[in-house]
Structure 1
Amino acid sequence: MPTRLTRTAFILVLAALPSGAYAAKGKTMAEILEASTAADWRTPDPDNLLVLDLPGGRAVIELAPYFAPEHVANIRTLAREGYWNGLSINRSQDNFVVQWGDPAEDPAQAKPLGSAKAKLPAEFARAGYDKTAFHPVQDRDGWSKRAGFVQGFPAATDRKRTWLAHCYGTLGAGRGNEPDSSNGTELYVVTGQSPRQLDLNITTVGRVLQGMEHLSVLPRGTGPLGFYEKPEQRTPIVRLALASALPDAERPRLEVLRTDTATFDALVEARRNRSDDWYLHKAGHIDLCNIPISVRSPK
């Protein structure tokens, strides 16, 4: 018959156990995703998907018209009219970005924009804070009053404005010194540690959903800021098109985990306090840009 333990004896038994042995083991990210339902996933609008085909493979990028409607509209026009086809990736800066567009330095030799606009307003942030659209995370953000997600995109807010955060995989519109000098023709993707100092300084227009490996492995440029010094160093763009303009058989089939559900909140907690057997210490914190947003092929 088991011996009844006094409270003091019970505490001594706990103290003798290995650290964490009596803590409840939380679910892992894999377990949470396995238990997810169809309602936890969304299918991106094909009119918001850019398909970037390179010699090494394909990257699929979701546009964010909620944050930059005029830039996204111009990018759609450029893509529909094949503006980037035959152009190139001209920059790959270590731990920072890859950038593509027209490599011509002489404006007289630049590729025509077709029916796209040459001038757009700066769209660094969206005015206001819509708490019905903003799904916050509890962790402190060093770059804003609150961090979270809006329509599947990592975002931040000071409650006067809301913006798309510069995380790994973020797509931005390159500009010169003038705030309104971007028109979507020069695009870059963050391939290094999240450069959040760029927040509120440049128009961000989307995020890579799939195929980052084809961008992050590109050879680093040897010129200033990672630009390629010779034409043969550049990676040609085979095609950059909207998914909605592609034949049905060529469209990407993707589902993206929603960021406004209890399942996503559980996933964030699983990454905040890792329950994988390898982890001996629970961090109790996670950075906005380290929260993964899962992408899968439809079942």
Structure 2
Amino acid sequence: MHAYNVAKTVLAIPALAVLCTQAVRAAEPANPPRPTVADVVQASRAADWRPLDPEHTLYMDLPAGRVVIELAPAFAPAHAANIRALVREHYFDGLAMLRSHDNYVAQWGDPDEKNPRPFKAAKAKLPGEFTVPLSNDKQFTLLPDRDGYAAQVGHSNGFPSARDPKTGRAWLAHCYGMVGVGRDVDSDSANGSSLYAVTGHAPRHLDRNITVVGRVVSGMPLLSSLPRGSGALGFYDKAEQRTPIKSVRLAADVPEAERLKLEVMRTDSASFKAVAEAQRNRGGPWTKVPAGYVELCNVTIPVREVGK
């Protein structure tokens, strides 16, 4: 081949590559614009949101900031009531974070097992509330995607939940940020004095084996970033490793001017259905193949602070 023809061929290669790239892009399936979760939140109406009930909202103050927990009395009425009683007798004040198990949970309570802090009005023993009758779950919104742990999954008044119509039972799911009640082997060995929050990948195998009493709606980074415990199951070996709890209060017992004005998107609203859809089929130029599916624990439940 003559040098002139070689040069023409070499020069033609980049142009050919561009044409091939354009042809591949043209052959890719079109991904039409879809709203993001942020878009849905921005377009939502005031009626799509609900304020937290001060009687069922806990403020746990740590040295680094505040963790806000919303209780779910519809799913754990006895434990929710006992936790409120414990909080009102200042049981948790001065106790500590006991455990930070990597990719699992952060747990808090009384570190002194030999001389535990006594109760006042709270009950020392409660029956397990692992599931409740379907009649307790009056605000269930079905998620259409399949689930490996339950016949039906969805959301109930701001909490990820599951149900089995055959047995007539419903329960809360162990998603990130959910709060459960620590127990021993016996089903009735929990009373709410030791609590944990899920800080890792959803341990759904715990569903229906532990009383789940609520979820963290604000302050999760304070729990998920705790130093990991070096003992078995992530427990802290030494007292100085534990993060102290300054106080735990019911929002109802905090002056209104000092309360956080948090709202949760109503999970029975059209906006929340759009939130789930935005996570099922993510749009935008980056997503090449929308999943067409979303796992229960990957559905974000938007929370916002108002009046700032």
Distance 1:223 1:269 in 2: 42
Task: After TM superposition, give the deviation of residue 129 of structure 1 in Å.
Answer: 5.7
- 2:143 counterpart residue number: 137
Which of 35, 59, 66 matches 1:58? 66
Query: Could you say what secondary structure the match of 2:127 adopts?
Result: coil
Give 4+ residue runs of structure 1 displaced > 6 Å after superposition. Answer: none
* Structure 1 segment 37-76 matched on structure 2, within 5 A: 37-76=45-84
Which has the higher Rg, Structure 1 or Structure 2? 2
Unaligned runs of 5+ in 2: 1-22
Q: Does 1:118 align with 2:127?
A: no
Query: Are the aligned partners of 1:156 and 1:162 in contact in 2 as well (CA < 8 Å)?
Result: yes
TM-score (norm 1): 0.91
Which of 206, 224, 228 matches 2:236? 228
Comparing 276-285 with 77-86, greater Cα deviation is found at 276-285
CA deviation profile, 1:113-136 (whole Å, cap 9, x unmatched): 111000111100112367852100
Which of 22, 26, 29 matches 1:20? 29
TM-score (norm 2): 0.89
- 1:271 counterpart residue number: 279
Query: Could you say what secondary structure the match of 2:191 adopts?
Result: coil
Q: Does 1:213 align with 2:221?
A: yes
Q: Does 1:298 align with 2:306?
A: yes
- 1:258 counterpart residue number: 266
Task: After TM superposition, give the deviation of residue 248 of structure 1 in Å.
Answer: 1.9
* Paired-residue identity, %: 53
Task: After TM superposition, give the deviation of residue 112 of structure 1 in Å.
Answer: 1.1
Query: Are the aligned partners of 1:166 and 1:195 in contact in 2 as well (CA < 8 Å)?
Result: yes
Distance 1:69 1:118 in 2: 15
Unaligned runs of 5+ in 1: 1-13
Quickly say closer, same or farther: Cα 1:34–1:180, change in 2 above 3 A. Answer: same
Distance 2:281 2:215 in 1: 26
Distance 1:188 1:16 in 2: 49
Query: Could you say what secondary structure the match of 2:125 adopts?
Result: coil
Query: Could you say what secondary structure the match of 2:273 adopts?
Result: helix
Distance 1:178 1:216 in 2: 28
Query: Could you say what secondary structure the match of 1:89 adopts?
Result: strand
CA deviation profile, 1:256-293 (whole Å, cap 9, x unmatched): 11100111111111100101332111011100000001
Task: After TM superposition, give the deviation of residue 178 of structure 1 in Å.
Answer: 0.1
Query: Could you say what secondary structure the match of 1:208 adopts?
Result: strand
Q: Does 1:85 align with 2:96?
A: no
Query: Are the aligned partners of 1:41 and 1:255 in contact in 2 as well (CA < 8 Å)?
Result: yes
CA deviation profile, 1:33-66 (whole Å, cap 9, x unmatched): 1110001000010111010100111110000000
The aligned amino acid for 1:100 is W
Distance 1:184 1:138 in 2: 33
Task: After TM superposition, give the deviation of residue 249 of structure 1 in Å.
Answer: 2.5
Distance 2:25 2:293 in 1: 28
Task: After TM superposition, give the deviation of residue 247 of structure 1 in Å.
Answer: 1.7
Which of 188, 192, 197 matches 1:189? 197
Query: Are the aligned partners of 2:32 and 2:284 in contact in 1 as well (CA < 8 Å)?
Result: no
- 1:239 counterpart residue number: 247
Q: How many residues align?
A: 283
Distance 1:25 1:150 in 2: 30
Report which of the two has the higher share of helix.
2
* Structure 1 segment 92-171 matched on structure 2, within 5 A: 92-106=100-114, 109-128=115-134, 133-159=139-165, 160-171=168-179
Quickly say closer, same or farther: Cα 1:130–1:186, change in 2 above 3 A. Answer: closer
Distance 2:233 2:71 in 1: 26
Query: Are the aligned partners of 2:172 and 2:212 in contact in 1 as well (CA < 8 Å)?
Result: yes
The aligned amino acid for 1:61 is I
Query: Are the aligned partners of 2:149 and 2:204 in contact in 1 as well (CA < 8 Å)?
Result: yes
Quickly say closer, same or farther: Cα 1:129–1:280, change in 2 above 3 A. Answer: farther
Query: Are the aligned partners of 2:181 and 2:192 in contact in 1 as well (CA < 8 Å)?
Result: yes
Query: Are the aligned partners of 1:129 and 1:157 in contact in 2 as well (CA < 8 Å)?
Result: no
Distance 2:153 2:180 in 1: 19
Task: After TM superposition, give the deviation of residue 26 of structure 1 in Å.
Answer: 1.6
